[in-house]
Structure 1
């Protein structure tokens, strides 16, 4: 059974993020970026950056180094697994998949698989991605 659109979208974005983080890790031989990377600061200063701005930018980049990004991606994949499908029976012949973790919203109706608040929140940071649907169902809150 194919994944619901939001789940497929998230998996594709995490795959993209992982490829970028792995490429970035190769630049540092797999080691975390050094926030005091002197050559990087010198390069930014040579490009016209103020020294303090160059240092702040370098610290920012080092904070989101590839190793951290890969751990973040792995944790988001675990969350998606935790919010996987659970098949439920409705009536005599009807079945559908709901979120195995959230299961019920406040009105005691079920959250369809891929539509629980956790999965919706995981997709929201990608709202500017060209593949992110612009319909109201996907609108970030």
Structure 2
């Protein structure tokens, strides 16, 4: 299960990174326009080209569309790349150590015994740890996701 879960996560992160890179990691802006005689229309544009529309939400209630369009613009390709980098860093910190389980979650090593005899105890952490399992739940609608990975 360990290798499968890590491979699954890395594949999803690679997919997300490729999608964001295809859009050059651009940043998006949003606006809502309301002509005096018609319904409001929401627009998402690349920050570098504010007149080139990426998406247009159909006319309607300005307040209703402003929340939606702000949300879509907030998750632009630049943020997608930052998100992939952060998730990869978390996955690297929570890597599997064969003897200890999760490298980040293990409590470390402590010694017990007397001066003539010392034993080392490793406080193992489960693997995959809850953090790695939580990272995978974002993709629980993917056909390769396994319910056994759920925290």
Partner of 2:88: 77
Distance in 2 between residues matched to 1:78 and 1:125, nearest whole Å: 16
Task: Look up the SS of the partner of 2:28 in the other structure.
Answer: coil
Pairwise CA RMSD of aligned residues? Answer: 2.4
CA 1:60–1:21: 2 relative to 1, 3 Å = same
How far did 1:118 drift? 0.8
TM-score (norm 2): 0.65
- CA displacement at 1:120 relative to structure 2: 0.7
How many pairs were matched up? 116
Q: Secondary structure at the match of 2:12?
A: helix
Deviation of residue 63 (structure 1)?
A: 0.8
Aligned to 1:138: 149
**8 Å Cα contact 2:13-2:84 kept in structure 1:** yes
- The partner residue of 1:122 within 118, 127, 135 is 135
Report the secondary structure of 1:111's partner residue.
coil
More strand as a share of residues: 2
Unpaired runs of 5+ residues, structure 1, are: 89-96
Unaligned runs of 5+ in 2: 34-40, 44-55, 108-122
Query: Which one has the bigger helix percentage?
Result: 1
- The Cα of 1:66 is off from its aligned counterpart by 0.9
- Larger Cα Rg: Structure 1 or Structure 2? 2
CA displacement 1:50-98 (0-9 Å, x = unmatched): 433332222111111111111011011011111112232xxxxxxxx62
- The answer to whether the 8 A contact 2:57-2:69 is kept is no
- CA separation of 1:110/1:73 partners in 2, compared to 1, >3 Å: closer, same or farther? same
User: 1:10 & 1:37 partners in 2: Cα distance?
Assistant: 37
1:103 matched to 2:106: yes
